[in-house]
Chains A and B, each alone.
Chain A
Amino acid sequence: MLEVIDIHKTFNPGTINEKVALNGVSFTLNDGDFCTVIGGNGAGKSTIMNAICGVWPVDSGAIVIDGNDVSGLSEHERAPFLGRVFQDPMIGTAADMQIDENMALAARRGEQRTLRWGVTAAEREQYKEILKTLDLGLEERLTAKVGLLSGGQRQALTLLMATMKRPKLLLLDEHTAALDPKTAAKVLETTDKIVKQHNLTTMMVTHNMRDAIAHGNRLIMMNEGRIVIDVKGEEKAKLTVEDLLHKFEEVAGRDSVSDRMVLS
């Protein structure tokens, strides 16, 4: 489903701010894989997500989604394949537009924006049904501006929007990190439900090792722009936080653990 082949990306090359953010990243996700991604701050987790989304072109390497080489496509051209939820709840939705308008934008991902109505009455009914599954009462507030919603509500809505039009790949970049623990747990639960329901191929960055272990069938750990740990299946299922810390020490050196891994 997703093939990432030897991706390199250096920011600000040739300046004092030069930063090798991705240093030869390769991995493959199969159909229906749910892969969690962990690593210290600045390890390159968001950068690999951005590379897949085409926020900027990579320096070298290829990204293949469902057999399509998308490496040469710009961000909006790749969007039809991808559903995304960002860390910042403000980013995933348009605050000044209504809930239904936001959903309608997402429902047309990958389609021509024509001169037909932006949201139809039939769609509104459909959106209500979808919103009910969130159990947040948003179905009663279809015409409310999204800016009036809480961070958790916005994140849940973004998740719906990312998955309404089935993406080939769902990318979640610390999408619960900005939420309070209770809300975070709820959004995570919803995530699991939606991913299972549609059998979505998913990548989820998290800084919470326990979440990374508890969710999905695959786990990748990054450090300094490389994948340093990649476990799946049986091995992944048996993984403990202790194991992960040990493994991380092996590859990244003893000191880095306490400093850079954020545990919760």
Chain B
Amino acid sequence: MTGYIFSLDGTALLRACPGGVAQGLIWGIMALGVFMTFRMLNFADLTVDGSFATGGAVCIMLIMKGCNPEVALIVSFAAGLSAGLATGLLHTLFGIPDILAGILTQLGLWSVNLKLLGGKSNQAINVNLVTLHITSNARYLSRTIIIMVVFCAILISILYWYLGTEQGSAIRATGINPKMSRAQGINTDGMKVLALALSNGMVALAGGILAQFQGFADANMGRGAIVIGLAAVIIGEVIGESIFKKGMSFILRLGFVVVGGVIYYLVYVLVLWLKFPANDMKLLTAIVVAAFLAVPYLKEKKKNSFHKVARENKKSGIISGKGEE
């Protein structure tokens, strides 16, 4: 035990933090995409596991072909749009349930992504040959973080604006009350497709940024992305609400999605630093997300349960003669 404690190197933790922040910001963008479907549409979209890797693959392959990295990101975004479009059409046009529609697209994307990567499971760029603004190179890490913070702020502002427009309001209404939305002339199927496309666009954009950051794309890079995205959304909400209570405005909600991503990655760094095996991280994430999703449900249940009624009836003796002595 003492051996283990002494083997931990405090400065190593400090050195790992900036990288964690940068990755957290990147995953925060991905989580904004998840927020759009999961919170606005009430749609748990599993497409993202595929579209995240698609974004990475598109970006890396284009850069390898000599494309400007920023332009490559735009193409990643577009690729994500079409992935979301596929899921949206499967769901609205063919009536396939939401989770299943996402899984089908995700599965299909696996093959697409391998094809994009030229049949290999990963492809790396030679980081010495291209100038990347976003890179895990320790020398430029602080610049990368600044760029990412600014980029996240811009994206949050755009999202805030968009969800406040007529179209964004229609998307929100569709998620909250589809029947009412149709009665008000909103094309609910169209809004779902639109939101799914935009969401996956953001996810693929994040995938492209991560690929630039690490200098490679991997067919597996999106595995479990939905859960990480949900973790960021939920962690952000819990923290935001505990700080701002009822005063949590919409723009803060969006901001805290990214904060959630950063905190998730800082915890990730910490857990790795504690020599937790990296492969167990997904299990840990799954447990944390399950716990956070379960808490509101269990809280409600505790307030409102058969057990509670039985217990209280017993205590109060409302049924004559059967009360506690």
A95 to B176 Cα, complex, angstroms: 7
Contact, CB under 8 Å: A79 / B183: yes
Given A93-B177, A95-B177, A96-B176, are A76 and B169 also a contact pair (CB < 8 Å)? Answer: no
From residue B296, how far is it (CB to closest CB) to chain A in Å? 15
Residues of B within 8 A of A119 (CB): 169
Q: Could you tell me which residues of chain B, from 172 to 188, have a CB within 8 Å of some CB in chain A?
A: 172-173, 176-177, 179-188
Given A114-B166, A115-B167, A118-B169, are A76 and B187 also a contact pair (CB < 8 Å)? Answer: yes
Give the contacting residue for B168; candidates A53, A80, A118; CB below 8 A.
Answer: A118
A75 to B167 Cα, complex, angstroms: 18
Contact, CB under 8 Å: B185 / A94: no
From residue B43, how far is it (CB to closest CB) to chain A in Å? 15
By beta carbon, the residue of chain B nearest A162 is B183
From residue A213, how far is it (CB to closest CB) to chain B in Å? 28
For the complex, would chain B's binding face be called helix, strand, loop or mixed by DSSP majority? Answer: helix
Asked if B164 CB lies within 8 Å of chain A CBs, one says yes
Contact, CB under 8 Å: A116 / B165: yes
Residues of B within 8 A of A104 (CB): 166, 169
Asked if A198 CB lies within 8 Å of chain B CBs, one says no
Given A105-B173, A114-B165, A115-B166, are A91 and B180 also a contact pair (CB < 8 Å)? Answer: yes
Contact, CB under 8 Å: A75 / B166: no
Asked if A92 CB lies within 8 Å of chain B CBs, one says yes
By beta carbon, the residue of chain A nearest B190 is A76
Given A97-B176, A115-B165, are A76 and B170 also a contact pair (CB < 8 Å)? Answer: no
From residue A127, how far is it (CB to closest CB) to chain B in Å? 14
From residue A124, how far is it (CB to closest CB) to chain B in Å? 14
A117 to B164 Cα, complex, angstroms: 6
A94 to B172 Cα, complex, angstroms: 9
Given A94-B177, A96-B176, A97-B173, are A117 and B185 also a contact pair (CB < 8 Å)? Answer: no
Contact, CB under 8 Å: B183 / A113: no
Given A76-B187, A76-B188, A117-B165, are A94 and B170 also a contact pair (CB < 8 Å)? Answer: no
Give the contacting residue for B166; candidates A80, A96, A108; CB below 8 A.
Answer: A108
Contact, CB under 8 Å: B182 / A101: no
Contact, CB under 8 Å: B166 / A161: no
Residues of A within 8 A of B170 (CB): 105, 113
From residue B5, how far is it (CB to closest CB) to chain A in Å? 48
From residue A108, how far is it (CB to closest CB) to chain B in Å? 6
Residues of B within 8 A of A108 (CB): 166, 184-185
Contact, CB under 8 Å: B177 / A109: no
Contact, CB under 8 Å: A113 / B176: no
By beta carbon, the residue of chain B nearest A111 is B185
A119 to B61 Cα, complex, angstroms: 43
A77, A91, A97, A105 pick with most chain B CB within 10 angstroms: A105
B170, B172, B177, B185 pick with most chain A CB within 10 angstroms: B185
Asked if A84 CB lies within 8 Å of chain B CBs, one says yes
Given A113-B167, A118-B166, are A106 and B184 also a contact pair (CB < 8 Å)? Answer: yes
Encoded as 1 (CB less than 8 Å from any A CB) or 0, chain B from 13 to 40 comes to 0000000000000000000000000000
- Which are the 10 A-B pairs with shortest beta-carbon distances? A79-B185, A118-B169, A109-B185, A94-B176, A113-B166, A113-B170, A75-B182, A113-B167, A94-B177, A96-B176
Can you list 24 A-B pairs with a CB-CB distance of less than 8 A?
Answer: A53-B183, A76-B181, A80-B185, A82-B183, A91-B177, A92-B183, A93-B180, A94-B172, A94-B173, A97-B176, A105-B184, A105-B186, A106-B184, A108-B185, A109-B184, A110-B185, A113-B167, A113-B170, A115-B162, A116-B165, A117-B164, A117-B166, A118-B165, A118-B166
Binding site for A on B (CB under 8 A): 162, 164-170, 172-173, 176-177, 179-188
